[in-house]
Structure 1
Amino acid sequence: MRGQVSRKTILAFIGPSVIALAVIGIAPLLYAVWTSLHFYNLTKLRQVRFIGLENYQTVLTDAAFWQAMGRTFLLLATSLPLQLALGLGIALVLHRPGLTLVKTLTRLSLVLPMATTYAVVGLLGQVMFNQQFGVVNQLLGQNINWIGNASNAFAMIVFWDVWQWTPFVALVLLAGLTMVPGEVEEAARLETSNWWTILRHVQLPFLMPGLVAVLILRTADTLKLFDMVFTLTRGGPGNSTEMISLLIQRVGFRVFDQGLASAQAVILLIITIVLARLYIRVFYKEV
């Protein structure tokens, strides 16, 4: 009887979460997979039919898809190392003893960029980097075309992504540093004053779980980044900042080819899962 009551209690607690996960996560995923296997154009709903892997063939041979993926991975390869380096530096500074009040205020201020939505960040970038009225050009005394130039527009996306998510990296790594036993760290500092030696042999093993989590979360967020880029550049000038998420949106809601857009999204999901598994295997293996 106790066992039955216990199982019912467990089901009562986890049941709503499982249902919510199924409705919000699993059902849309299954629908996307189903759509990707069909010819599904919103302007030709009477012609919906099963076509197998034809959409995937089209995507994998589409130059626009690979160009968008290349731009997305370039953003990832540029912004993620900057976030890790700056976040680790901030975490190490905040981890050192002393200046308690200043550190507390700094930790509170780090939450502000993360609390700002992607769309608001993009709009903020448009206002600050406006060629005629932006505060950045006024401070520089220049008339730089930030949004209308391909290189400048991409640099703006990197800048805002780093600004918004470096605090998240810093807070996660700071939490990892608090797990280091104080006596072990103190003994290491007595043995050597080389910060890299202490970081590599004492602190890094405790940072690794948080580091892998950051890599997975930030990689997934960057690969599907849409709101900030859309509000900031609309993928322009031309298609120079059209990331893969913007391409999927264009194919699905401007060309109205839901089947092709779903195939692109499924391939993006597979790439994200592969990268996540790679992070776990490589970094945990090293530890």
Structure 2
Amino acid sequence: MSSPAVRPLPPRRIPFVPRSPAFWFLAPAVLALAAIGVYPMLVALYNSFHHYNLTDLASGTPFVGLDNYIATLTDPSFWGALGRTLAFLLLTLPIELGLGLFAALLLHRQALPRVRAIARVSLVIPMATTYAVVGLIGRLVFNRQFGIANYLLGLFGVPPLDWLGDPTLAFVSVMIMDIWQWTPFCALILLAGLSMVPREVEEAARLETPRWSMIFWHQQRPYLLPGITAILILRSADMLKMFDAVFTMTRGGPGTATEFISIYIQRVGFRIFDQGMASAQAVLLLVLTIVLSRLYIRYVYREA
């Protein structure tokens, strides 16, 4: 009699380890996000409820509850920095959005594909420039002695201006550099939205009415609203945490003219060394960013 065939045992599966290839493709990104984003946020949240001063580590980090938040909300300097940041956002973001929309409409009406390709590549250059380099460029452009800004004004007979020494002009100079860097981003996002409009619909609308404002409002605007929402969310978050370009360009000065909220938090955390207070301020800034994002989605994106 022949011996019965021995059936091989199925391979042992390690518990809690998924076999899906998608899991292994996503795992590195999830781990990087947890290490870079989630863990520091949890540490900041923990520190915000504790007394944590780098100059007084001998006393430990005792739990203080909401004391850091109360001290932050009653700090006039915090509200001053937040007010300057919101003023910068309210003044700069509409200009970037308006100029970006104007550039997107011009490129959308341009029929030559080579011109559009060159324009798109040119728009990427400011976006690819790092914040610190933008700040250094700003220091050179608005230098009182040899900056190109005063040179151009001199062609019209305007005397040299102390751009980085005057509080108002320093604020305006930071606005100009931010507009230069991020208007192309708005233009590219809005151009992508315009490219989604069916060509047949635009041609039919042009036959019915010659008014471009009617075509824009009824045919193109619905396709632009998702992009506008994305621009509002991303640029608002960037402006609220804007640090590198401003610190490199003005160091927050003169005085506190360009001391935005991120620079103030850095000063509290790494010059006064009060990590607990700085963490509470960072958490409040995160809450403000989330609230603004929800408002944008509710009142802008819902119209799409």
- Which TM-score bucket, shorter chain as reference? over 0.9
User: Matches of 2:145 and 2:110 in 1, distance apart?
Assistant: 46
Amino acid paired to 1:14: L
Alignment of 1:168-183 (within 5 A): 168-183=185-200
Q: Kindly report which structure 2 residues correspond to 1:54-203, keeping only aligned pairs within 5 A, or say none.
A: 54-141=67-154, 142-203=159-220
Displacement of 1:101: 2.1
Match of 1:37 among 49, 66, 87: 49
Root mean square deviation, CA, Å: 1.5
Q: Which amino acid aligns with 2:135?
A: G
Count residues with an aligned counterpart. Answer: 285
The one-letter code of the counterpart of 1:105 is I
Q: 1 CA distance for matches of 2:151 and 2:111?
A: 38
| 2:266 paired residue number | 249
| CA deviation string 1:255-283 (max 9, x = no partner) | 00000000000000000000000000011
Aligned partners of 2:252 and 2:46: how far apart in 1? 28
Q: Flag the structure with higher helix content.
A: 1
TM-score (norm 2): 0.91
Structure 2 residue aligned with 1:225: 242
- Hey, what's the Cα distance between the residues in 2 that align with 1:135 and 1:97? 31
Give the stretch that moved more between structures: 93-102 or 180-189.
93-102
Q: For residues 284 and 247 of structure 1, what CA distance do their matches in structure 2 show?
A: 32
Q: Aligned partners of 1:265, 1:178: CA distance in 2, in Å?
A: 38
Residue matched to 2:6: none
CA spacing shift, 1:62–1:21, aligned 2, 3 Å: same
1:55 partner letter? N
| Structure 1 Cα separation of the partners of residues 250 and 217 of structure 2 | 40
Larger Rg: 2
Partners of 2:225 and 2:303 within 8 A in 1? no
Listed one character per residue, the Cα deviations across residues 133-163 of structure 1 (whole Å, up to 9, x for unaligned) are: 2122123222210000001000001111111
Rounded Cα–Cα distance in structure 1 between residues aligned with 2:53 and 2:66 = 16
1:285 shift after superposition: 2.8
Q: Given the alignment, which residue of 28, 49, 65 partners 1:16?
A: 28
Deviation per CA, 1:188-215: give whole Å up to 9, x if none: 1111111111111101111111110111
- For structure 1, list consecutive stretches of 5 or more residues without a partner in the other structure: none
Task: Write the letter of the residue equivalent to 2:57.
Answer: L
Q: Name the stretch that deviates more: 66-75 or 17-26.
A: 17-26
Q: Which moved more, 1:32-41 or 1:140-149?
A: 140-149
**Cα shift at 1:175:** 0.5
**2:48·2:280 contact (CA, 8 Å) conserved in 1?**
yes
Instruction: Extract structure 1 runs of 4+ deviating beyond 3 A.
Output: 4-7
- Aligned 8 A contact 2:107 2:116 in 1: yes
Separation in 1, partners of 2:247, 2:97: 25
Instruction: State the alpha-carbon separation in 2 of the partners of residues 6 and 181 from structure 1.
Output: 43
How far did 1:6 drift? Answer: 7.8
Q: For residue 7 of structure 1, report the CA deviation from its aligned partner.
A: 4.7
Q: Following TM superposition, by how much is the alpha carbon of 1:22 offset from its aligned partner in structure 2, in angstroms?
A: 1.1
Which amino acid in structure 1 is aligned with residue 111 of structure 2?
Answer: G
**Percent identity for Structure 1 against Structure 2:** 58
Q: Which whole-Å CA distance do the structure 1 matches of 2:252 and 2:276 have between them?
A: 22
In the aligned structure 1, how far is the partner of 2:238 from the partner of 2:186?
13
- Provide the secondary structure at the position in 2 that maps to 1:237: coil
Residue aligning to 2:65:
52
Normalising by the residue count of structure 1, what TM-score does the alignment of the two structures yield?
0.96
Q: How many angstroms apart in 1 are the aligned matches of 2:205 and 2:102?
A: 19
1 CA distance for matches of 2:48 and 2:78?
Answer: 15
State how far apart, in whole Å, the 2-side matches of 1:260 and 1:203 are. Answer: 47
